[in-house]
A = this chain, B = another copy of it.
């Protein structure tokens, strides 16, 4: 026997697992490819928590961006992009200004489509400049990451995961054209799962179901329009043909920011982890805001914000809103960076930045006026504050519909509403007991969960890092084509067998009958001749 230590196979196996876990105990290395905008704000919470758990985090972001900023919690690697800060901000400003412009529907639609195309081009250019930044890619190649953490809304992170052959965790609210469920091989019946922008609920009339099915067909076109360029880019970069669906199907775990307290129950897959309400952490209000809300007296206060992207609106609209605020006894905290409307009442404070969740958590918060972004509505639910919703674009109309259909808020059309509409809506949600009761019921359900969504998100990122993916959660459906998945080949085969069997049986019967009748014929004939 050769000299040295020898262990039984069992002890070796246990030791191997133990050593693997030990090497991980120091913390792993996570590569993050974020999306800019409000998507980033909730992702950052997960990253901060991961950093506290000892992981090294490297963020790859364009030099020019709106929200993604350096922090002591992570290493920031930036890359140049072919646009300036002013151009980017101008782009977003124009986008939000257009929402408030009163134009004929068709013109609005064409302009919006144009703007979407521009955004799409901007994102694609960003991705291309990342992938073809040789120095950065060389750095990533040499960095031994355990996993990629990314928002698949822009599939750039997954292209890199694929290139580096490391597993990935997705963090998203959803992909607008249903690509998420397609890539997950998750059933998505249009009969009761409402499609984006339809403002359908899960209980639809026949015309609504027709609309929903048509929208789900349109989604395919939209997906192709937005994501086909990424397929081309990925295929070139990875030097093999790949579709965006296939690319995204390799995501190990999908952390999805929804919750069935508001979103409609639907089929799921084992690698979907639901983390709606992740940004709702109970923190104490700062002294500055505490003193503002405390002077609001017994009537309490109202929080008004149109989200991180819209901080100012046209003066005409601002005046209308200010007029409505003047009619209610509550103090209003309005997140606004634009010029103050001249008719601003004494009860209304314009503030450049609001600690939104902490304000909503205050017992004196009476109502929340929001654009219906997913972060906002979950903060409203979490803190049990009834809402007035002014949806502007994207999934906001659908979010608003969800809150309204649960009797926890009132939706207004921001373009068409009058001062009185807003003041009536505020009076309703503040004084009609049913809104508060409904939101409190939703809140109780939402907060009653075995693990906080933030901890759950952190857990699953670490899980993928520890186990180098989550292959055991990947359904075999990914290895079937459309015909096989729907068993169409099997059904065709079984039908053929049935038809052939029926045909042969029929032929046999006919043959027997003919034999029988012929015999009879001959018999009767011979009898006949005998009789003659």
Contact = CB atoms under 8 A, between A and B. Distances in A.
Interface of A: 8-10, 12-14, 16-17, 186-187, 189-192, 202-203, 206, 209-210, 213-214, 260-261, 264-271, 298, 300, 366, 384, 431-433, 436-437, 440-441, 444-445, 448, 450-451, 455-456, 459, 463, 466-467, 472-477, 479-480, 484-487, 489-491, 493-494
B440 A12 contact: no
A213 B492 CA distance: 12
A191 B485 contact: yes
Contacts of A269: 265, 267-268
A489 B213 contact: no
A270 B261 contact: no
Copies of this subunit: 2
A473 B260 contact: yes
A476 B13 contact: no
Given A187-B267, A472-B261, A487-B209, A13 B440 contact: yes
Contact of A448 (B202, B440, B463): B463
26 contacts: A8-B298, A10-B366, A10-B436, A17-B441, A187-B189, A187-B267, A189-B477, A189-B485, A191-B477, A191-B480, A191-B485, A192-B475, A192-B476, A203-B476, A206-B493, A209-B484, A209-B487, A214-B494, A261-B472, A264-B475, A264-B476, A265-B271, A265-B473, A445-B472, A448-B467, A450-B450
Contact of A486 (B191, B260, B265, B440): B191
B187 A187 contact: yes
A43 to B, nearest CB: 20
Contacts of A448: 463, 466-467
Contact of A9 (B8, B14, B214, B433): B433
Contacts of A271: 265
Nearest to A491: B213
Contacts of A265: 269-271, 472-476
Contacts of A264: 475-476
A470 to B, nearest CB: 8
Contacts of A487: 189-191, 209, 213
Nearest to A434: B9
A281 B366 CA distance: 47
Contacts of A477: 189, 191-192
Contacts of A16: 437, 440
Contacts of A445: 467, 472
Interface pairs A-B: 5 shortest CB-CB: A202-B476, A9-B433, A187-B187, A265-B475, A192-B476
A366 to B, nearest CB: 7
A238 B38 CA distance: 52
Given A210-B494, A450-B451, A472-B445, A191 B479 contact: no
Contacts of A384: 14
Contact of A270 (B209, B266, B451): B266
Contacts of A455: 450
Nearest to A456: B450
A473 B446 CA distance: 12
Contacts of A494: 210, 213-214
A457 to B, nearest CB: 10
A250 to B, nearest CB: 14
A480 B450 contact: no
Nearest to A435: B9
Given A210-B493, A210-B494, A472-B265, A440 B14 contact: yes
A336 to B, nearest CB: 26
A448 B202 CA distance: 35
Contacts of A189: 187, 477, 485-487
A484 B192 CA distance: 9
A171 to B, nearest CB: 17
Contacts of A485: 189, 191-192
A497 B496 CA distance: 31
A490 B261 contact: no
Given A191-B480, A264-B475, A267-B475, 8 more contacts: A10-B366, A202-B476, A206-B493, A210-B493, A260-B473, A265-B271, A268-B270, A450-B450
Contacts of A13: 433, 436-437, 440
A260 to B, nearest CB: 5
Nearest to A264: B476
Nearest to A203: B476
A268 B268 contact: yes
A435 to B, nearest CB: 9
B266 A267 contact: no
Give the residue among A191, A467, A480, A489 with the most B Cβ atoms within 10 A: A191
Contacts of A266: 270, 475
Nearest to A213: B490
Contacts of A214: 494
A201 to B, nearest CB: 8
Give the residue among A10, A433, A451, A489 with the most B Cβ atoms within 10 A: A10
